[in-house]
A and B are shown apart, each in its own frame.
Chain A
């Protein structure tokens, strides 16, 4: 072994804290959450041990066995067996176990031993085990297993010191890997291994006489047949209301700040620099600013999702929704990927890797983009605040928040409907897939990790605003400003620009669904990312309308659009495939362009049809 390239791999049952260990060893910020199946990729990182060995460590998806029954588990199997392309076998396998829940991991340890790699067992979450009064005779267990054992607390400062020390000791000696005897275990093998694991636990572990009942007590309410569903509905409802009401003050502050900044730049620059003035004020500040204003809402939605994930609620929600999802032909494990899609469809689509059945996974991938992702929030919010009065209904519900909730509900309903239809037409004979999921014990969310999570997401959002959105804005500003109006021309100058030409060319296509040429122009860059449409509308209308329009894009829309048009655009955004990155991920995860094209077309058709219906219905009802 050369000192420069020691390779560790973190292997273990799901939710035992592998990623937490990886993060504290390498200082990374990979996603950690309290449900099985968080990590679905191989992640690599490096660190230097106290004695100065430089080490590469791999974080792997959790698995109950090396059988590899779903795409994420196959990654772990291939790495451990050295079958992964471009990845050498690990020099040391760190098998991570949850010290409060040893049964399943110990069986995996016994299976891993047959692979013959040098191995060490890490009993993680020893803090929880101690608190509950679980005592583990490490020496005895180490003897029985024939492996070195070390304890750790992945989430506490200094909690991996011993692991580092022991790793150094381990690596100082030379270890011969024996040849792999691993074969796919038969049922009899599994049972024998489980019996052996149970025997070892019986000799080395003393469980407390009074078991932890907190999780059971919380679950008796949260998983109650009636109250459970009510609580789930309330959580979602509060989440979407909060996105609206809590964020309002901060958003107004940001929005005022950007107008003031735009005005300031306008005033500082001499009149003769009108083109630069317009670029900075209309292109940059109105455009990018109109997206950054939504940062508070993005933070709130992520805060909710992260809290639910860390607390351990996600697996419960999957339990509660299983029959309902099954009715729509969805796999029980589809719920968590779909709920993550509320944040963004891309991690949601990645998370479908935990679904073992190919068809079930595909259905989930196809409908994930219909879940209301956070990039739709700016579009929805803009239109809602322009057209829906902020009145209170039923005494306590904010009407704007209610409409928002309705849009989320529409996204969920349409996703379930599409799934049911796909099942009916494409794979009618496909029997329902089983649902088996470990329900982890609840954990109190740690402030620190929530803060880091929210911060990372906020940074990503701002980064996008500064790159994709900014570059799109420059393009839009250019298209909307050139060619400039000829001298003595009538009407706003924008009418002579490229943007107007493109918009007018597209308008006939979009007129049946009530879109004007300005919307048509905004939809094209909106393909790069949904929120760009908001920024594009901001720029187009502020170039067209001058100073006052730059201030309050919402008020401009309220004047220029009919309610029918506004509703039609809202409905368009429920369905339309307005996100290039999502399409790219679908292509990658399904291994070809076919399903990407299918997704694009079905969403486009749905969007057009639904907007057409909405617009015409609204007009027939006289909503102007």
Chain B
């Protein structure tokens, strides 16, 4: 992604959940809370995300977006829905699902 201060090079399909649009479906690759716009320390942010079920391998889908700057977002994580801001969602690295026809 352009403008990402902490680019993820390993896989071109990997993006930060905070950058994804509504309708995005994918899988969590890992958490990387080092550079986000969040006020929480990376450690604390990662801990909270894990507590809410954001762990490697979980399926995520962005269901809804807020009105102002499309923030916050409502994310389906496996079978629960979590509302969070994009700045915190930046810590979640996701891989876009391969759409199988």
Q: Is the CB of B79 within 8 A of A190?
A: no
Q: Is the CB of B53 within 8 A of A103?
A: yes
**Interface status of B10 (Cβ within 8 A of chain A):** no
Measured between beta carbons, the chain A residues less than 8 angstroms from B38 are 434
Q: Is the CB of A226 within 8 A of B50?
A: no
Contact flag A219-B80 (CB < 8 Å), given A103-B53, A436-B88: no
The residues in A between 164 and 222 inclusive whose CB is less than 8 angstroms from any CB of B are 187, 190-191, 194-195, 198, 207, 211, 215-216, 219-220
CA gap between A195 and B50 in the complex, in Å: 11
Q: Is the CB of A104 within 8 A of B84?
A: no
CB distance from A503 to the nearest CB of B (A): 49
**Which chain B residue lies CB-closest to A100?**
B79
Q: Is the CB of B80 within 8 A of A187?
A: no
**Which chain A residue lies CB-closest to B70?**
A225
Interface of chain B, main secondary structure: mixed
**Interface status of B98 (Cβ within 8 A of chain A):** no
Contact flag A223-B79 (CB < 8 Å), given A65-B51, A194-B50, A434-B40: no
Measured between beta carbons, the chain A residues less than 8 angstroms from B46 are 187
**Interface status of A515 (Cβ within 8 A of chain B):** no
The one of B55, B56, B68, B84 that contacts A435, using a Cβ cutoff of 8 Å: B84
Contact flag A434-B66 (CB < 8 Å), given A103-B80, A191-B55, A319-B83: no
Contact flag A315-B83 (CB < 8 Å), given A225-B67, A332-B72: yes
Q: Is the CB of B67 within 8 A of A228?
A: yes
Measured between beta carbons, the chain B residues less than 8 angstroms from A322 are 66, 71-72, 83, 85
Q: Is the CB of A324 within 8 A of B68?
A: yes
Measured between beta carbons, the chain B residues less than 8 angstroms from A479 are none
**Interface status of A323 (Cβ within 8 A of chain B):** yes
**Which chain B residue lies CB-closest to A430?**
B39
Q: Is the CB of A439 within 8 A of B40?
A: no
Measured between beta carbons, the chain A residues less than 8 angstroms from B47 are 67, 187, 190
Measured between beta carbons, the chain B residues less than 8 angstroms from A324 are 68
CA gap between A216 and B81 in the complex, in Å: 10
**Digit string of B54-65 for contact with A (CB within 8 Å is 1, else 0)?**
011100000111
**Interface status of B19 (Cβ within 8 A of chain A):** no
**Interface status of B20 (Cβ within 8 A of chain A):** no
**Interface status of B13 (Cβ within 8 A of chain A):** no
Q: Is the CB of B80 within 8 A of A190?
A: no
**Which chain A residue lies CB-closest to B71?**
A323
CA gap between A74 and B85 in the complex, in Å: 25
CA gap between A563 and B48 in the complex, in Å: 54
**Interface status of B96 (Cβ within 8 A of chain A):** no
CB distance from A422 to the nearest CB of B (A): 17
**Interface status of B97 (Cβ within 8 A of chain A):** no
Q: Is the CB of B74 within 8 A of A219?
A: yes
Measured between beta carbons, the chain A residues less than 8 angstroms from B66 are 225, 319-320, 322-323
**Interface status of A561 (Cβ within 8 A of chain B):** no
**Interface status of A431 (Cβ within 8 A of chain B):** yes
Q: Is the CB of A219 within 8 A of B64?
A: yes
**Interface status of A101 (Cβ within 8 A of chain B):** yes
Measured between beta carbons, the chain A residues less than 8 angstroms from B63 are 216, 219-220, 223
CB distance from A531 to the nearest CB of B (A): 37
Q: Is the CB of A194 within 8 A of B53?
A: yes
Measured between beta carbons, the chain A residues less than 8 angstroms from B55 are 191, 194-195, 198
CA gap between A5 and B68 in the complex, in Å: 54
**Interface status of A271 (Cβ within 8 A of chain B):** no
The residues in A between 373 and 430 inclusive whose CB is less than 8 angstroms from any CB of B are 430
**Interface status of A498 (Cβ within 8 A of chain B):** no
Contact flag A436-B82 (CB < 8 Å), given A187-B43, A319-B72: yes
**Which chain B residue lies CB-closest to A357?**
B39
The one of A104, A195, A228, A434 that contacts B87, using a Cβ cutoff of 8 Å: A434
**Interface status of A584 (Cβ within 8 A of chain B):** no
**Which chain A residue lies CB-closest to B82?**
A438
Measured between beta carbons, the chain A residues less than 8 angstroms from B65 are 225
Specify which of A67, A430, A435 lies most central, judged by the most chain B CB atoms within 10 Å of its CB: A435
The one of B56, B74, B78, B88 that contacts A439, using a Cβ cutoff of 8 Å: B74
CB distance from A495 to the nearest CB of B (A): 58
Measured between beta carbons, the chain A residues less than 8 angstroms from B70 are 225
Q: Is the CB of B69 within 8 A of A323?
A: yes
Q: Is the CB of A323 within 8 A of B52?
A: no
CA gap between A187 and B56 in the complex, in Å: 12
Q: Is the CB of B50 within 8 A of A191?
A: yes
List of 5 A-B pairs having minimum Cβ-Cβ separation, nearest first: A431-B39, A323-B68, A223-B64, A439-B81, A64-B51
> Could you tell me which B residues sit within 8 Å of A by CB distance?
38-40, 43, 45-48, 50-53, 55-57, 63-72, 74, 78-85, 87-88
**A-B contacts, 22 listed (Cβ < 8 Å):** A65-B51, A67-B51, A101-B79, A104-B53, A187-B50, A190-B47, A198-B57, A219-B81, A223-B64, A228-B67, A315-B83, A322-B66, A322-B71, A323-B66, A323-B72, A430-B39, A434-B85, A435-B72, A435-B85, A436-B82, A436-B84, A436-B88
